[in-house]
Chains A and B, each alone.
Chain A
């Protein structure tokens, strides 16, 4: 893992890799993140940078890899998944978050989005299925409850070594 991290740094900073920060543009060249529609969110969530420029240090990098590995528990995975899906970072998944999430899933570009009516119907269905206290948003515990019953979640969250 250290080797992969240092490969992302420009040559001069390689000896100092432990304390250097890799800019976001470099992180996005990783093969696992390249094709991922959530790449921006992932970088943002794991980055602990003070300047909010989404750059990652070595510890951040390790954090990211450990969450996505096979050995992470589903609690940790669902916690981080919630943070990744929470686009406006208000601690809950409301309609806007869900709409943005679905748009990420169906692909970039105008013709690959669902129509407004379909989006409305879909968001309504999701809220019906997962919103237990009927407040119109999904909080962390509701999300974890839904995800624990979902058969595909464990498979999808694992990055290949």
Chain B
């Protein structure tokens, strides 16, 4: 009986233990959930911005946070699959060695590539110059494509096919970005649809149900008042404008439409002017930038300027273009909502097309084959023995210059303006006033930077790390600029529609990035003097080659899928 009692005692204690175990497990889980919400990056900062400036500006900062995370993940992806194996093998960990297969059937002249890593005495400004333009000592580091001149890595007994990993990691980060953006925009899209207002009731809805009774902070209340007033005024204006449009006579319609055609032609002319100047400047810069041997400061500086010329021209175009567009659109007499959308569309097109033109002009230089310049190798081997590194350098320069411009504008335009407005009481300055935080311009800025990062990561695998750090710093810079120098917006914007719009434009940037990468990988012959794809005609060729090494059954399946994969999208479209 005693043993029975001991048994039951033991059993009940065990049961109690299990009961408390599951309870404590639940408690632990909920505590972990609570803690992990604290780990979300910048949660407190974005919350306070939302409270003070409204949800429109808060959506900009959440978007920035999303890009920081995206770039960080892309960097981890590229680093772990591409750079890390090489580092392991360079230090011989796990008995790893590098396999270096010299290219066959290729003329020797194509394989000459001597990047001038720093030899001899190094002056500080040469160091700085190299840092800014990606040449010199930076060119031979793992930052650029040229470093990865390795065909395979043996890690113990496993053969790690680096070229294949490089290409697949590229596809992986593009696919990851694509899927993540779509996922985020799905949430925003559903929200957008649900909030679609019944056009028959919009006024009643705004007036009777406009006030959110949860607001307790007087600042938030003032903001809400402003938002309500602005929305009501905008709706009333749109209604009046629509009435006016409906009452237009035939003569007025003709006048307006012909004016619109003229203005659109002007816009196209301006865009073509930008594109042409970018093309000429890029060609000029590529032809005239050579590494100077003499340590003469003045030629070095001029050389640096010439190298940065495309970036400078692009930034100028990105800055002046929107000003001209917003000036011209006043003559076109659209409703305010449509005006905003059209200006944004034109600005987006301007920024993204500028990058496309830059890349196009680079390629025209690389594949410039008039006078037998590229006969042996398929590309202009004299000027570009390692053309992928050159493209990587251009992207690197664009990114660095973009960063410098953002910092410079914050430092030299916003803060002095604020100082001027607070201390100088002259009427002209007061009328000029503080600047508003224009969300669309800022968002286009960071989307432009992100597109450069996507295109450049194939040519410069460590570029996402630079992008992550850049956006991280930009968050704090913009936050300080917002809090200290911006006046509250007179035209507050609704958040749900803006979120969806940002993601849409980001998606357009990503799809645009597919094109240059596709052309580089599949059409232009890879350089024979550097990089993991020396033994292939183009970078894409490694995939068919690898498939041919699979067993025949698998090959047939893959070919079947490939042909179906062509049929299905065509069918769907």
Interface residues of A (CB under 8 A from B): 31-32, 34-38, 68, 81, 85, 98, 101-102, 105-107, 112, 114, 118, 121-122, 125-126, 129-130, 143, 146-147, 149-153, 155-160
Return the chain A residue nearest B225 by Cβ.
A107
Chain A, Cβ-Cβ closest to B218: A35
Is B567 engaged at the interface, CB distance under 8 Å to the other chain? no
| A160–B232 CA distance with the chains assembled, in angstroms | 27
Asked if residues B216 and A31 are in contact (CB atoms below 8 Å), the reply is yes
- One digit per residue, 1 when the CB lies within 8 angstroms of any chain A CB and 0 when it does not, for chain B 202-238 equals 0111011111111111101110011011001100100
Given contacts A156-B213, A159-B214, contact A146 B200 (CB under 8 A): no
Contact of A34 among B207, B210, B216 (CB under 8 A): B216
Q: How far apart sit A147 and B207, CA to CA, in the bound complex (Å)?
A: 10
Contacts of B239 in A (CB 8 A): 121, 125
Cross-chain pairs A/B with CB under 8 angstroms, 12 sampled: A36-B221, A105-B229, A106-B229, A106-B232, A112-B225, A118-B232, A118-B233, A125-B203, A146-B204, A153-B209, A156-B211, A158-B213
Q: Given A31-B216, A36-B211, verify A122-B232 contact (CB < 8 Å).
A: yes
B201 at the interface (CB under 8 A from A): yes
Indicate whether B255 reaches chain A with its CB closer than 8 angstroms: no
Q: How far is the CA of A37 from the CA of B228 in the complex (A)?
A: 13
State which size class the interface on B falls in: 20 to 34
Query: Which residues of A lie under 8 Å from residue B195 when comparing CB positions?
Result: 151
Partner of B217, one of A35, A126, A150: A35
Instruction: Say whether A114 contacts B232, CB under 8 Å.
Output: yes
In addition to A37-B211, A152-B209, A158-B213, 5 A-B residue pairs with Cβ atoms within 8 Å of each other are A35-B220, A112-B225, A112-B226, A118-B233, A150-B204
Q: Take A106-B225, A121-B239 as given contacts and tell me if A130 and B211 are in contact as well, using a CB distance cutoff of 8 Å.
A: no
Q: How far is the CB of B224 from the nearest CB of chain A, in Å?
A: 9
Contacts of A114 in B (CB 8 A): 229, 232-233
Knowing A35-B217, A36-B213, A158-B214 are in contact, say whether A130-B229 is a contact too (CB < 8 A).
Answer: no
Residue of A nearest to B202 (CB): A129
- Which of A36, A129, A147, A158 lies in contact with B203, CB distance below 8 A? A129
Confirm or deny: B197 has a beta carbon within 8 angstroms of a beta carbon on chain A. yes
The answer to the question of B545 belonging to the interface, with a C-beta cut-off of 8 Å to chain A, is no
Nearest residue (CB) in B for A126 is: B203
B431-453 interface code vs A (CB 8 A; 1 in, 0 out): 00000000000000000000000
Give B404-418 as 1s and 0s: 1 = Cβ < 8 Å from A's Cβ atoms: 000000000000000
Q: Is B198 an interface residue (CB 8 A)?
A: yes
Contact B200 A129 (CB under 8 A): yes
Residues of chain A within 8 A (CB-CB) of B194 are: 151
- The residue on A at minimum CB distance from B220 is A35
Complex CA–CA separation, A160 to B213 (angstroms)? 9
Q: CB within 8 A of B216: which of A32, A38, A102, A107?
A: A32
CB of B433 to closest CB in A, whole Å: 16
Minimal Cβ-Cβ distance residue in B for A32: B216
Q: How far is the CA of A121 from the CA of B203 in the complex (A)?
A: 11
Taking CB atoms, residues of chain A closer than 8 Å to B205 are 150-153
Residues of chain B contacted by A143 (CB below 8 angstroms): 208
Interface of B is mostly: helix
Q: Find B209's partner among A31, A112, A150, A159 (CB 8 Å cutoff).
A: A150
Q: In the complex, which residues of chain B have a beta carbon less than 8 angstroms from the beta carbon of A151?
A: 194-195, 197-198, 205
B216 touches A35 (CB 8 A): yes
A149 to B195, CA, bound (A): 13
Asked if B213 and A157 make an inter-chain contact with CB atoms under 8 angstroms apart, the answer reads yes
Give B48 Cβ to nearest chain A Cβ, in Å.
17
Complex Cα–Cα for A125 and B214 (A) = 27
In the bound assembly, the distance between CA atoms of A152 and B214 in angstroms comes to: 13
Write the nearest CB–CB distance from A9 to chain B, whole angstroms.
21
Q: Is the CB of A159 within 8 A of B213?
A: yes
Give complex CA distance A87, B212 in Å. 20
A106 to B194, CA, bound (A): 26
Contact of A121 among B207, B222, B226, B236 (CB under 8 A): B236
B76-123 interface with A by 8 A CB criterion? none
A-facing mask of B158-176, CB < 8 A → 1, else 0?
Answer: 0000000000000000000
Known pairs A106-B225, A118-B233, A155-B212; A129 contacts B201 (CB<8 A): yes
A8 CB to nearest B CB, Å:
16
Contact status of A146 and B208, CB under 8 A, knowing A106-B228, A114-B229, A158-B214: yes
A38: nearest chain-B partner, CB-CB:
B211
Q: Are B210 and A152 in contact (CB under 8 A)?
A: yes
Whether B220 lies near A81 (C-beta < 8 A) is no
Which residues of chain A have C-beta atoms less than 8 A from B198's C-beta?
Answer: 149, 151
With the chains together, A34 CA to B197 CA distance in Å?
Answer: 30
Within 232-255 of B, Cβ neighbours of A (below 8 Å) are at 232-233, 236, 239-240
**Distance, CA A28 to CA B233, complexed state (A):** 30
Point out the residues of chain B lying under 8 angstroms from A160, CB to CB. Answer: 214
**With A and B bound together, what is the CA distance between A157 and B229 in angstroms?**
20
* Cα–Cα distance between A126 and B225 once the two chains are bound (Å): 19
Bound-complex Cα distance A122 to B239 (A): 10
Q: Which residues of A contact B208 (CB under 8 A)?
A: 81, 85, 143, 146-147, 150, 153
A34 touching B218, Cβ below 8 Å? yes
Complex Cα gap A147–B225 (Å)? 21
User: Separation in Å of the A4 CB from the closest CB of chain B?
Assistant: 14
The CA-CA distance from A112 to B228 in the complex, in Å, is: 10
Q: Which residues of B contact A125 (CB under 8 A)?
A: 203, 236, 239
Nearest residue (CB) in A for B196 is A151
Q: Which residues of B contact A101 (CB under 8 A)?
A: 207
Complex: chain A residue closest to B217, CB-CB: A35
Distance A98 CA – B208 CA, assembled complex (angstroms) = 10
User: Which residues does chain A contribute within 8 Å of B203, judged by CB atoms?
Assistant: 122, 125-126, 129
Please pick, from B201, B207, B214, the residue contacting A105 in the complex, using a CB distance under 8 A. Answer: B207
Interface residues of B in 319-339 (CB under 8 A from A): none
Q: How far is B231's CA from A107's CA once the two chains are assembled, in angstroms?
A: 13
How many whole Å from A18's CB to the nearest CB in chain B?
27
A150-B201 contact in complex given A38-B211, A105-B207, A159-B214, C-beta closer than 8 Å: yes
Asked whether A149 lies within 8 Å of B201 as measured between CB atoms, the reply is yes
Q: What is the bound-complex CA distance between A101 and B204, given in angstroms?
A: 12
